[in-house]
Structure formats: C-alpha cells, structure tokens
C-alpha cells in the first residue's frame, strides 16, 4: 500500500468520527487574555498552551531596526548568528538547536528554502510585521519536520476596522536608506493590508581586510487579507515577494580565511497561500473546516566580479485539509483538530553546460496528524500526534503531551510538556555537490529529538508578569559536515547532542506610558561532552519603551547580550571562543503634529567590535534620521 493510499484511508477513518461530536464551539478568548495561533494550529487562549511561547508586538519589533532577526534577540532561548554585515547569512537557533531545526511560518506559509531546510533571516524585513509568536520545544507533532527546536510564526498586514495608511523614509550610516508604505482596512466583506518596503546599505567589508564594502539591497511586497463569501465561510489569502542583492567575500584560496572578493548573489523569493475556511455548521458539517494550498519558491544567481558562476531554483508545494471540532462533556470543554497534508519539494542547480553540479532533485511526503485539547476549570490538557509517510526516508511518528494548572488565587500557572521531534535531511545535505569541496550523502537518516520542559507563569496585578522554564532535550542522528573526508560530506553522528537550560522572561507595565521587558537564558548544548558551536551559554535582553499618550515625544532603548560561544576556526580546524558582546539600540521620536513624526534611530550604540562567526566582520555604530507619516 502506498503512502498516499494509507494517508487517504487513515484520514477518512479519523475524520469520519467527527460528525458524532456535537456541541457548541468553545470561545477563543477569556477576557483580555492573549490569543495564540501557533500553539494548537487554531487560535486558542494562552492559558491552553502548555509549551513555552513568547509574543512580540509592533513596538518591540520596530525598536531594533529594519531586519526582523534583531527583534528576535528579545526571545528567551533564541540565538542569532549573522555571518558579517547586513545581507549576510543570518541564522537563528532555538534552545541550542541547529538553524534548520526551527520552522518559520510567514502568514501561514512555510518560509524555509527546500535546499537547506533553513530560513535566511537577512531576507526578512521588520516592516509590515504586526506580530511574532515563538513556540519553543519539539513541535513536529503539530508542524512536521523542521520543528525540532520550535516554531516562529510571523504575521503581517493585519486588517483594521478603519482605513489606515503610513509612509516612512530614513537614511544614515553606511550609506544606508530605507523607505516604505503600508495600508490596511476593511471594506464590505474584505479585510486586510499590504506593505511595500525597500532597504539599501553599502555595508562594511565582511573580510575585515579593509577592502571594498559588501552591500545589500532588499525589496519586499507583502499582502494578507480575508474575504467573507457567505455567513461562516471565508477565503484567507497571503502573498509575499522579496527581491535581494547581497555582496559577500569568499575564501578563494581555501586557507580558512575570507579574501576580499567581488562575489554577489541576486535572488527572488515568493510565497503565496490560499485557504477556504468554513465555520461549524456553515456547510452542514458540525466542525470547522480549512482547505489550504501554498507555494514557496526561490530563484538565485551567483556572480564573481560580474561573471556568472551558477544558479539555483527551489520550490515547495503544500496542501492540507484541517477539521476542528469543539464540544462540552464530562465537565470539560474539548477541542480536536485532524490534519491531512501533502508536501512536495523540487530543487534544480545549474552552473553552465556540462558542469558537475548540475542536477534536479525532488522529494515528497504525506502526513496525518491530530491535536487534542481539554479544559476543565483550572486544568488544561494537550496532546498531539503525527505520522509522516516519506518518499525518501523511513516513515516517522512524533508526539507531544502537556498539562497546565492555574492557581487563580495567587495569579500563577504551572505547565509541563514532553514530546518528540524529527528533521529530515535537506536536499543540499543529500545531493549537494561542489567539485573538489563537498558531496552530498544520500544515505543520511532523519535527526530525532526528544525533550521536555516544566515552567511557572506568574501575574501580579495587571502590571507585572513573568515566567521561568527549565528544559532538557536529546538529539539523535545529528547531521554534520565531515571535513576530514575529501571531498567533505554530510554524515549522521554516532553520539547524541544534549541540550538543557533555564529561560526567564518578564514584562512590567511601570505606568500608563512606560513598559519594561526582559529575558535571560542559561543553557548548555554539548555533543559527546564538547560544547557545540554558535550556541552561547548566556543570553539576555532588556528593552524599555516610553510612549506617553497625547505627548509629542516617545522613546525606546534595548540592550541584547550574547555570552561567550564556541566556533570553528577553519584555518586550523580547531574550536575557538568568541568573546561576549552587548548590542544597544535606541529610538527617539518627536510628533510634529498628529500625523507626522520625526525620529532618530541608532544601533550598536556602544560601537562594539563583535563576531557571530569566526572571520566575518560586523558593522559598528549606526545612526539614522527618519520621517513617518500616518493617517
């Protein structure tokens, strides 16, 4: 029996049970409680999410500048690694995971590139982002492969009841400028928004040799909206188009050190999603239904001193049906979601007629999953399970269970969860080929992680909230690059990777116009007893936002600390320790009138000389002046 046949029969058997579950739907919020989209595949109150989750709102996102990765430094357990100046490869790691162990969703579209399975955050602007949810821990039971470390859910262009529009422009250090426009609103049965932005910088010399600066250009157009077709039935859509040009230096003599070169990558990324959603009862079914299709694609071309060196094309098609039922019974409110999903990926590389690395590769998979939640008074329970049928690998089963209990008398909540995650090898790891340097390994096995967490969330009045989470996880079959062989290749490790840590976060509304937010992480990530590279054991973040209502001034200040971390010096193939650093950013605004604001913004205000990756120089202090017009 083929995977697709098994999927169809299993999906029918599971969804056939739902018509017998009849009861009113649960409410999706409790008072002013935060609603989380990523914690259960459908929006639920934060009190029903049993894994650690953090939400960033616009004030926090805009404080740290044009690239979203810098705002993510406020997330506990999340480390950012940028290989040089703006536009360079920018990875994020959650709880010591690999960069391609974090699933990134943008308006419901899986954003990672099929080539590597990771997402380059240098191509994610902060403009137009209305909310970011970060769910930590093994979440493959909910979201499939790539979600070993967690899920980052980015939402843009939220529709507004009244029409809104804004324009902005700024310029400053490193010959940088950025500009953009956004609009949102509701007209009849249509609600949504769109953002257009551009960012350009001359940057700095990534090699640090005093040569030509490595510049970066980023253009982005995104839109999202919802169209009500009839009572209880709507069509949700999202589209995103990103173009970029990134200059970089390369190790041309293979001595493990960058040379000042004229390399450049030009690329276009686009994604689109369309979902038909019907509420319970709208189409004579007693559960909510969602049918979704999406596409992610990236085309990139590489040049050296304006000479063509190669191009790649990557595509991902995804489709799923999701049914969600709510009912009341046994003194509890219940929720059950059943998912049937199909995914296909295609990758093509071309470096000229007859080149050895020319190839076309395809992968596909099918999955069936369920997610169950129950709430009885102060107790919340959660369970997820998923089975993947893979064309190329062994089938995989993943699961996660959790529970939370609220102590309303003291404003506290205890929560715990445990689960398994899986990460399939990427096309590059399987089939990538660079003559004389790297050859893929088609015999790789999927990585698998098992871990758990326990946490306490506390509220003191309406002004103060904080939480603490302890976690531990074990990764098996970790994929690494073996440089001892020639050419180098990808292999599965025979030993396990152990990750553990403590995350602390809190927020204090110190007054009607003053918000203080902070986080700290203490962690270890070791493979066979040795520290893993680019996983700092200490992370901390602090931000202050002052926004008086009716006053002409507003201000914000953030400080993000990254502790010492190991990295590999490829000139000697030995591990070295990169020193700790702290990045301070700030913004000060003056409202000229009700619509026009003049502001000054700065990043790396302490002018730290820092490195996220050995041999890659990072920019120093930057100052920028801007105008913003809102109506």
Average the pLDDT over 78-99 and give the result: 93
Residue 22 in this model has a pLDDT that exceeds 50: no
Name every residue whose Cβ is closer than 8 Å to that of residue 248 and which is 6 or more positions away in sequence: 84, 87, 88, 206, 214, 261, 263, 264, 265
Q: Could you tell me the pLDDT band of residue 32, with boundaries at 50, 70 and 90?
A: low
160-169: pLDDT as tens digits: 899 999 999 9
* Residues 562, 76 contacting (CB under 8 angstroms): no
pTM (two decimals): 0.92
Residue 69 in this model has a pLDDT that exceeds 80: yes
497-522: pLDDT as tens digits: 999 999 999 999 999 999 999 999 99
The helix or strand, by DSSP H or E, that contains position 431, with its residue range, turns out to be helix 427-431
Average the pLDDT over 529-543 and give the result: 95
Q: Could you tell me the pLDDT band of residue 588, with boundaries at 50, 70 and 90?
A: very high
224-280: pLDDT as tens digits: 999 999 999 999 999 999 999 999 998 887 777 888 899 999 999 999 999 999 999
Burial class (CB in 10 A: 0-12, 13-18, 19+), 243: middle
Reduced to 3 states (helix: H, G, I; strand: E, B; else coil), residue 15 is helix
Residue 23 in this model has a pLDDT that exceeds 50: no
Rg of the chain over Cα atoms, rounded to whole angstroms, equals 24
148-160: pLDDT as tens digits: 999 999 999 888 8
319-348: pLDDT as tens digits: 999 999 999 999 999 999 999 999 999 999
Range of the domain at 431: 3-630
Residue 105: predicted pLDDT: 95
Q: Is the dihedral of CA 49, 50, 56, 57 positive or negative?
A: positive
462-491: pLDDT as tens digits: 999 999 999 999 999 999 999 888 889 999
| Alpha helix (H) residue ranges in 72-159 | 140-143
Residue 454 in this model has a pLDDT that exceeds 80: yes
Burial 451-488 (b: 16+ CB within 10 A, else e): bbbebebeeeeeeebbbbbebbbebbbbbeeeeeeeee
Task: Tell me how many degrees the CA angle 171-174-176 measures, rounded to the nearest 5.
Answer: 30
- For residue 12, give the DSSP letter: H
Residue 29 in this model has a pLDDT that exceeds 50: no
CATH number, residue 546: 2.40.170.20
Residue 67 in this model has a pLDDT that exceeds 90: yes
Average the pLDDT over 55-76 and give the result: 93
How many folded domains does the chain comprise?
A: 1
111-135: pLDDT as tens digits: 988 777 789 999 999 999 999 999 9
Average the pLDDT over 93-103 and give the result: 93
Instruction: Residue count of the chain, please give it.
Output: 631
CA distance 397 to 386: 6
CA distance 112 to 419: 23
- The residue among 434 and 280 whose pLDDT is bigger is 280
Count of Cβ atoms closer than 10 Å to residue 563 Cβ: 18
Q: What is the mean pLDDT of the chain?
A: 90
């Amino acid at each position: 029996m083929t995977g697709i046949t098994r999927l169809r029969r299993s999906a029918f058997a599971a969804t056939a049970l739902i018509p017998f579950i009849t009861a009113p739907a649960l409410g999706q919020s409790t008072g002013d409680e935060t609603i989380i989209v990523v914690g259960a595949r459908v929006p639920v109150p934060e009190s029903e999410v049993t894994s650690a989750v953090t939400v960033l709102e616009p004030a926090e996102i805009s404080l740290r500048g044009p690239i979203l990765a810098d705002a993510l430094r406020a997330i506990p357990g999340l480390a950012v690694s940028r290989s040089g100046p703006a536009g360079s490869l920018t990875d994020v790691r959650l709880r010591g995971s690999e960069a391609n162990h974090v699933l990134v969703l943008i308006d419901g579209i899986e954003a990672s590139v099929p080539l590597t399975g990771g997402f380059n955050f240098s191509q994610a602007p902060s403009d137009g982002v209305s909310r970011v949810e970060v769910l930590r821990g093994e979440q493959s039971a909910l979201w499939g492969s790539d979600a070993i470390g967690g899920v980052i859910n980015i939402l843009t262009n939220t529709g507004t009841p009244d029409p809104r529009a804004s324009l902005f422009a700024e310029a400053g250090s490193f010959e940088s400028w950025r500009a953009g426009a956004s609009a949102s609103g509701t007209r009849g049965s249509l609600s949504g928004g769109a953002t257009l932005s551009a960012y350009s910088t001359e940057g700095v010399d990534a090699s640090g040799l005093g040569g030509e600066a490595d510049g970066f250009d980023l253009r982005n157009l995104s839109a999202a909206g919802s169209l009500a077709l009839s009572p209880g039935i709507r069509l949700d859509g999202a589209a995103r188009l990103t173009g970029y040009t990134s200059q970089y230096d390369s190790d041309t003599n293979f001595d493990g050190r960058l040379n000042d070169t004229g390399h450049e990558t030009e690329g276009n990324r686009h994604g689109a999603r369309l979902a038909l959603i019907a509420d319970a009862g709208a189409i004579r079914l007693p559960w909510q239904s969602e049918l979704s299709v999406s596409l992610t694609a990236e085309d990139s071309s590489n040049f050296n001193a304006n000479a063509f060196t190669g191009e790649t094309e990557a595509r991902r098609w995804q489709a799923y049906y999701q049914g969600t039922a709510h009912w009341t019974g046994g003194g509890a409110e219940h929720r059950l979601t059943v998912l049937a999903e199909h995914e296909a990926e295609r990758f093509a590389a071309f470096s000229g007629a007859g080149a050895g690395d020319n190839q076309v590769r395809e992968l596909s998979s099918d999955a069936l999953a369920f997610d169950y939640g129950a709430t009885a008074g102060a107790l919340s329970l959660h369970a997820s399970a998923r089975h993947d049928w893979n064309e190329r690998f062994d089938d995989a089963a993943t699961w996660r269970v959790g529970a939370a209990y609220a102590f309303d008398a003291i404003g506290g909540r205890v929560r715990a969860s445990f689960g398994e995650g899986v990460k399939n090898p990427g096309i590059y790891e399987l089939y990538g080929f660079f003559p004389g340097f790297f050859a893929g390994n088609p015999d790789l096995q999927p990585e698998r992680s098992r871990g758990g967490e326990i946490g306490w969330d506390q509220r003191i009045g309406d002004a103060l909230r904080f939480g603490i989470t302890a976690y531990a996880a074990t990764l098996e079959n970790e994929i690494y690059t073996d440089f001892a062989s020639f050419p180098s290749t990808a292999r599965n490790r025979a030993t396990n990777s152990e990750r553990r840590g403590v995350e602390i976060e809190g927020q204090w509304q110190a007054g009607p116009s003053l918000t203080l937010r902070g986080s700290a992480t203490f962690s270890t990530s070791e493979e066979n007893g040795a520290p893993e590279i680019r996983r700092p054991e200490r992370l901390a973040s602090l931000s202050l936002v002052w926004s008086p209502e009716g006053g002409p001034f507003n201000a914000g200040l953030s400080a993000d600390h990254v502790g010492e971390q190991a990295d590999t010096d490829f000139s000697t193939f030995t591990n070295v320790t990169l020193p700790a650093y702290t990045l301070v950013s700030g913004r000060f605004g003056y409202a000229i009138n009700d619509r026009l604001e003049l502001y000054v913004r700065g990043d790396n205000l302490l002018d730290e000389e820092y490195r996220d990756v050995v041999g890659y120089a990072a920019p120093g202090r930057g100052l920028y002046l801007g105008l913003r017009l809102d109506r």
